[in-house]
């Protein structure tokens, strides 16, 4: 009883001082924000289902940069640290390690090195088209989520490991280790999206870390599969792969630096994880918008027929001649952004931006909902893409889906993040989006199952995803 009482008293003292620390003032430029409670910070105001909605509203109250307390933690969370393989990864690496790793990945993703892989990407688009044709001809409703996810994971697996999985309709047995990777990506997305109490309450971090290290098998599983793949590549590596690598692993092997093997393996996981759900959910929203806005679907189709021809495939060389398709994709990403936020970043020095003071290293999650500040240095920020896309200062009628707005006025908008640490896979991803969305628009008429509007409500998670839906496909 006495021990329990002591623990309770210590806990109350800890909570009290921890709470007081939230109100540390940095002078008249201190960031303002909604009033936090002990331990839980602002969670009670944000809720867990759609926190991006109140966060966007706070912008009107507190200005372009404001402070939100995610519980009482100061730095990045245990879940992020664990699943991102912090020591050898790219996305969350410290500045000193990041520069070299970023160069490594950006260099490897250069189109000149990836010529062969781009041909494989065309092959993946053909396979998706076959899957859609099968559904259209058989009169079976098409499920965008599972099929687009299969297409995206295959494009990523081809890029990274030169592997792929069959589609469900093909009824072919899949490689178990690739299915395992897909399941781990799903699992980690869910874990990141929901978070754990230990991510937000400082005192619970140690038990959470212990739990991950002792009981969670996700990372060891993924690393062991990747390691086997790496070894197999090494064993079968031929001279010709120096010029024409089979995939990213070959590009890494070609660097002739086995001391970096562990980092290469982490990079592979980074890319598979960062590229799959984001790209797939972006295409899912696009398909929904095709069905909900048939007038724009028709405009897109007419443009493609006149530029590409009815019986041909759209290729990347058509991109500059299809302004409406480009606008359709941009507007789809604006109206239904694949993610509500970017990756949280840490400030490496004290910063003053206009009327705001951002203290060094304190990982308060800053919410920036103005485009003005997005070019700033290494501030720890959580960029609110949802806020940017709904800001009437930048967009007329922001709730309306209207691709033509991008034809008349150029408005800078990046779903890939801003500054040096933006998305390293953005060129690959935007090529995938263009090839897939334009070929779907040219080859199929997409409509809802019952002729009504599909629900455009978004669900909170690591990515913003729609409620599950099906569509009807007709071959053009």
131 is in an annotated binding site: no
Q: Quick one: 34 or 342, whose CB is closer to ligand HEM?
A: 342
Interaction pattern, residues 341-370, with ligand HEM; x per rule: CB under 6 A: -xx-x-------------------------
What distances in angstroms separate CA 469 from CA 61, 69, 154, 280, 335, one per listed residue? 36, 35, 22, 14, 18
**Residue in 417, 434, 464, 473 binding ligand HEM, rule: CB under 6 A:** 417
Q: Quick one: 272 or 471, whose CB is closer to ligand HEM?
A: 272
- Burial classification of residue 446, based on how many CB atoms lie within 10 Å of its CB (0-12 exposed, 13-18 middle, 19 or more buried): buried
Structure tokens at 301: 């189709």
Interaction pattern, residues 233-272, with ligand HEM; x per rule: CB under 6 A: -------------------------------------xx-
Q: Are residues 147 and 128 in contact, defined by beta-carbon separation less than 8 angstroms? A: yes
Q: Are residues 144 and 469 in contact, defined by beta-carbon separation less than 8 angstroms? A: yes
Q: In degrees, to the nearest 5, what angle opens at C-alpha 311 toward C-alphas 307 and 313?
A: 65
- How many residues make up the chain in this entry? 476
Cβ of residue 229: shortest distance to ligand HEM, in angstroms? 17
**Residue in 428, 434, 444, 460 binding ligand HEM, rule: CB under 6 A:** 428
Specify the stretch interacting with ligand HEM by CB under 6 A; choose among 43-51, 68-76, 251-259, 425-433: 425-433
- Nearest one of 82, 104, 84, 106 to 93, comparing CA atoms: 84
- Interface with ligand HEM (CB under 6 A), residue total 25
Q: Please give the torsion angle defined by the CA atoms of residues 314, 320, 323 and 325, in that order, rounded to the nearest 10 degrees.
A: 30
Establish if 466 lies at the interface with ligand HEM (CB under 6 A).
no
* Measured distance CA(252)–CA(256) in Å, rounded: 8
Q: In degrees, to the nearest 5, what angle opens at C-alpha 326 toward C-alphas 147 and 330?
A: 75
**Residue in 193, 416, 431, 470 binding ligand HEM, rule: CB under 6 A:** 416
Establish if 50 lies at the interface with ligand HEM (CB under 6 A).
no
**Residue in 108, 178, 429, 473 binding ligand HEM, rule: CB under 6 A:** 429
Q: Residue 236: enclosing H or E segment and its boundaries?
A: helix 218-236
* Measured distance CA(460)–CA(437) in Å, rounded: 24
Establish if 415 lies at the interface with ligand HEM (CB under 6 A).
yes
Count of other CB atoms within 10 angstroms of residue 172: 9
- Nearest one of 86, 79, 88 to 211, comparing CA atoms: 79
Establish if 36 lies at the interface with ligand HEM (CB under 6 A).
no
Q: Quick one: 45 or 56, whose CB is closer to ligand HEM?
A: 56
Interaction pattern, residues 78-117, with ligand HEM; x per rule: CB under 6 A: ------------xx----------x---------------
DSSP-based helix, strand, coil % in the chain, nearest 5: 55, 10, 35
Q: Quick one: 88 or 279, whose CB is closer to ligand HEM?
A: 279
Specify the stretch interacting with ligand HEM by CB under 6 A; choose among 30-38, 221-229, 335-343, 466-474: 335-343
Q: Quick one: 101 or 135, whose CB is closer to ligand HEM?
A: 101
Cβ of residue 97: shortest distance to ligand HEM, in angstroms? 11
* Cβ-proximal residue to ligand HEM, closest one: 425
Sign of the CA dihedral running 311, 313, 318, 319 = positive
* Measured distance CA(443)–CA(147) in Å, rounded: 17
**Residue in 188, 424, 437, 464 binding ligand HEM, rule: CB under 6 A:** 424
Interaction pattern, residues 279-298, with ligand HEM; x per rule: CB under 6 A: x--x----------------
Specify the stretch interacting with ligand HEM by CB under 6 A; choose among 278-286, 314-322, 361-369, 371-379: 278-286
Establish if 278 lies at the interface with ligand HEM (CB under 6 A).
yes
Establish if 421 lies at the interface with ligand HEM (CB under 6 A).
yes
Cβ of residue 187: shortest distance to ligand HEM, in angstroms? 19
How do strand 458-459 and strand 465-466 relate by DSSP bridges? antiparallel
Q: Are residues 125 and 439 in contact, defined by beta-carbon separation less than 8 angstroms? A: yes
In the annotated binding site for heme, the residues are: 423
Contact footprint for ligand HEM (CB under 6 A): 90-91, 102, 270-271, 274-275, 278-279, 282, 338-339, 342-343, 345, 415-417, 421-425, 428-429
Binding site: what residues are annotated? 423
């Amino acid at each position: 009883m006495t021990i329990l009482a002591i623990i309770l008293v210590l806990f109350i003292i800890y909570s009290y001082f921890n709470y007081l620390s939230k109100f540390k003032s940095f002078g008249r430029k201190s960031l303002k924000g909604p009033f936090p409670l002990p331990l839980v910070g602002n969670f009670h105001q944000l809720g867990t289902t759609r926190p991006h909605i109140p966060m966007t509203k706070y912008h009107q109250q507190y200005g372009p940069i404001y402070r939100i307390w995610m519980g009482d933690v100061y730095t990045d969370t245990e879940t992020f640290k664990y699943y991102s393989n912090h020591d050898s990864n790219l996305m969350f690496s410290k500045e000193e390690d990041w520069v070299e790793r970023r160069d490594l990945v950006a260099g490897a993703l250069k189109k000149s090195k990836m010529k062969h892989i781009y041909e494989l990407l065309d092959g993946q688009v053909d396979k998706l088209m076959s899957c859609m044709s099968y559904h259209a001809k058989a009169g079976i409703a098409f499920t965008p989520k599972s099929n687009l996810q299969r297409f995206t994971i295959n494009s990523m697996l081809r890029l990274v490991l030169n592997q792929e999985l069959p589609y469900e309709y093909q009824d072919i047995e899949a490689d178990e280790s690739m299915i395992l990777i897909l399941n781990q990506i799903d699992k980690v997305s869910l874990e990141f999206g929901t978070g754990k109490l230990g991510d937000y309450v400082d005192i619970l971090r140690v038990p959470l870390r212990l739990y991950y290290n002792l009981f969670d098998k996700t990372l060891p599983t993924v690393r062991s599969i990747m390691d086997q793949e790496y070894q197999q590549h090494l064993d079968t590596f031929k001279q010709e792969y120096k010029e024409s690598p089979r995939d990213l692993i070959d590009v890494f092997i070609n660097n002739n630096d086995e001391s970096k093997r562990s980092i290469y393996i982490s990079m592979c996981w980074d890319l598979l994880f960062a590229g799959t759900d984001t790209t797939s959910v972006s295409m899912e929203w696009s398909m929904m918008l095709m069905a909900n806005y048939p007038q724009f679907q028709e405009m897109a189709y007419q443009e493609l027929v006149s530029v590409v021809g009815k019986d041909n495939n759209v290729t990347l060389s058509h991109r500059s001649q299809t302004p409406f398709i480009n606008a359709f994709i941009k507007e789809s990403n604006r109206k239904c952004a694949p993610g509500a936020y970017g990756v949280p970043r840490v400030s490496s020095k004290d910063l003053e931006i206009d009327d705001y003071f951002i203290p060094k290293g304190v990982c308060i999650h800053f919410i920036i909902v103005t485009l003005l500040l997005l070019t700033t240095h290494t501030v720890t920020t959580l960029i609110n893409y949802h806020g940017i896309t709904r800001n009437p200062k930048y967009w007329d009628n922001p709730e309306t889906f209207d691709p033509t707005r991008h034809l008349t006025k150029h408005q800078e908008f990046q779903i890939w993040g801003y500054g040096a640490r933006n998305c390293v896979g953005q060129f690959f991803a935007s090529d995938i989006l263009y090839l897939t969305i334009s070929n779907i628009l040219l080859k199929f008429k997409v409509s809802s199952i019952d002729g009504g509007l599909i629900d455009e409500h978004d669900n909170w998670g690591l990515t913003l995803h729609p409620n599950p839906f099906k569509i009807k496909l007709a071959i053009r």
